[in-house]
Amino acid sequence: MVRARAALIGALAGVLGVVGVASAALAGCGGGQTQGAAFDSGWSNDDGVAIAAFQQSFASAKVPRGTDVAVGVSGKELVGVPLDGGPVWTFPHQLDGRPSVAGTEVVGMGGGELFALDAKTGKRLWARRAGGLLRGIGDDGKTTVVSLMSTTGRGTSVLALSHDGEVIRQVEDEAAIGVPAVVDTYAFLP
């Protein structure tokens, strides 16, 4: 089972590749789109050698501490309560599902718009047109990775975005990809 998980993580990380803002070429062109087979049928078992080397490449990466916040929905607005005693914030917006919190961002979706808020203040960071339903987000302090269920209910769109909302990479896959994780510009997709 451990080998199968390591293989899956290695295969999926290869699909997205480096998705961080460190790649100036990608950031300048508005993001690439990848149609893919996340589950590589050509994968061969190397007893974890490749994934161990991959893990070492980001072993010293520091993911900043996230914002401690409780987020709820009241009517047609999000309500944020910073757990350090900061002021309560509200953000009026139609919602099509439950918002997600990762790192310093709250991401929600509604009315055909995907948006991110600063988790501490509720200030809108970015918004973009999008369809489907929000499955989950991951954030490493530089890159936010969003998993969206398609409007048909089959397949997933995964967006890697900079903190100003620029799409760095978009991946479309037939798999039902869950809540992503991000470390040092690498996305891990369950």
For residue 182, which of 25, 3, 21 has the smallest C-alpha distance? 21
Q: Is the pLDDT of residue 103 over 60?
A: yes
Q: What is the mean pLDDT of the chain?
A: 81
DSSP structure string for 49-67: HHHHHHHHHTTT--PPPPP
Q: Is the pLDDT of residue 10 over 90?
A: no
Q: What is the pLDDT of residues 72-100, one digit of tens each?
A: 999 899 999 999 999 999 999 999 999 99
Q: What is the pLDDT of residues 23-40, one digit of tens each?
A: 222 333 345 555 555 566
What SS3 state is found at 106? strand
- Predicted local confidence at residue 19, as pLDDT: 34
Residue 30 lies in domain? 2-38+66-188
Is residue 55 in some structural domain? no
CATH number where 16 lies? 2.130.10.10
**Domains of the chain: total:** 1
167 strand-pairing partners: 161
Residue with tokens 């809540």: 179
A 10 A CB-CB count for 130 gives 17
- Predicted local confidence at residue 40, as pLDDT: 67
Is residue 50 in some structural domain? no
**Percent of residues, the chain, with pLDDT higher than 90:** 49
